[in-house]
Amino acid sequence: MNVGIVCYPTVGGSGIVATELAKALAQRGHEVRLISTEMPFRGPDFQVGLVFHPVQTPGYPLFREPQHLLSLANKIVQVSRGHHLDVIHAHYAIPHAAAAYLARQILANADGANVPRVITTLHGTDVTLIGSDSSYSETAAFCIDQSDGVTAVSERLRADTYQQLSVRADIRVIPNFLDCEIHRRSEDVALRARFTGDDDAVRLVIHVSNFRPVKRVEAVIDVFDRIRRRVPSKLLLVGDGPDLDRAGRRVRDLGLTGDVVQLGEQEQVVPLLSVADLFLLPSAQESFGLAALEAMACQVPVVASRVGGLPEVIDSGVTGYLHDPDDLDGMASSGVAVLTDPDRHRAVVAAGLTAVQQRFCANAIVPKYEAFYTEVLAREPVPAAR
């Protein structure tokens, strides 16, 4: 099968999952074309069956801003014509589903052109933040409904899409996934010692995100501050984004400079997760919680907010701990409990790892995408709008 995957290149769950799907499909014998403005974060090295097509958006004096939607649609048309795509898989509704829809319309109106099916995967903020904004909502809903197939990464996101955008599309839930051969704990005593100073009593708490406001990095700092008063610990902040400076100010205000290490954006997070003892994710919203899943796969207990799709990933009290977003004291108490009770720590780690291996590894999820592609290709296509 020839598949074009359209995604953002930046740090975030949608781009990471799209890239991992592209790699997994290529490994399973499909021809995959990855389309983005630049090589995506955690993008592949050379791999048979996987080719990257960059989208270039030139600026012209007539345009006040670059016309990315148009150049993306044009690139999709070119790739489809040149490589006979069966499926265009758009990850994120705006602008990718819109560009895929426009490309399909162009191809449908060209005599003899191969017209691929458009599948849109909803990842979260394309519905809950951007899609629900009145500036984009009509476009987002239209492009979702005009897709030949639609998936969402959680049941919660599926429900939110129907509620907020009133779409008519039949949305299939296919959860996010990991390459479990890569996402596994690998102890590195020397790396751990760089942060703990070789003090076996010190515990490592970690937060990995793109530091957007929805991640509530100040809450991460506040929960950690409560933990460190009761357990000797250090906090690793991994990632970059608009709220990183705010996190730094909060660290200084609480006098935590010596206990917080800012590591910036890291292409590989498994080594850092592998030395951590606790993962904090007090987000305001998570459509799925890919970072939590990565932590669980690396045998790190997760303390997170009870929001969005996280309850579909974490069984609170069994595979991790969930609290109301404002219950910072509760998050800290759960963190202290799991850090100070080795038996509890082992039990949560084991249950979390089992959940990942049984439900969220690539070998369990990628075949669901393959089956959905086949199902959509067997249907009558959505008629071209006139």
pLDDT beyond 70 at 335: yes
Alpha carbon distance 326, 301 (integer Å): 20
Q: Which of 91-95, 192-196, 209-213 has the lowest mean pLDDT?
A: 91-95
121-149 pLDDT per residue, tens: 998 877 776 766 788 888 889 999 999 99
CA atoms within 13 A on the CB side of 353: 14
Higher pLDDT pick, 61 / 105: 105
Residue 382: what pLDDT?
74
Q: Which residue has the higher pLDDT, 198 or 98?
A: 98
H helices present in 94-182, as ranges? 98-108, 125-128, 137-145, 155-165
Residue whose C-alpha is closest to residue 240's, from 260, 266, 222 = 266
Stated pTM of the model: 0.90
pLDDT value at residue 131: 64
pLDDT of residue 1: 94
What's the average model confidence in pLDDT over 84-92?
95
Decide if 180 contacts 297 (C-beta within 8 A): yes
Query: Which CATH number is 189-359's, of 3.40.50.2000, 3.10.580.10, 1.10.443.10, 1.10.3720.10?
Result: 3.40.50.2000
Contact 2, 84 (CB under 8 A): yes
- Residue 172: pLDDT band (50, 70, 90) is very high
Using the CB atoms, write b or e for 128-158: b if 16+ within 10 Å.
bebbbeeebbebbbbbbbbbbbbbbbbebbb
Q: What pLDDT sits at residue 363?
A: 95
Mean pLDDT for 213-236 is: 97
Domain positions in the chain are 2-177+362-378, 189-359
Structure tokens at 308: 């969005």
pLDDT of residue 31: 96
| pLDDT (mean) for 17-23 | 93
pLDDT confidence band for 64 (50 / 70 / 90): low
pLDDT of residue 110: 76
Domain 2-177+362-378 CATH superfamily: Glycogen Phosphorylase B; (3.40.50.2000)
Domains 2-177+362-378 and 189-359 share a fold: yes
pLDDT digits (tens, 9 = 90+) for 241-287: 999 999 999 999 999 999 999 999 888 899 999 999 999 999 999 99
Single-letter residue type at 45: D
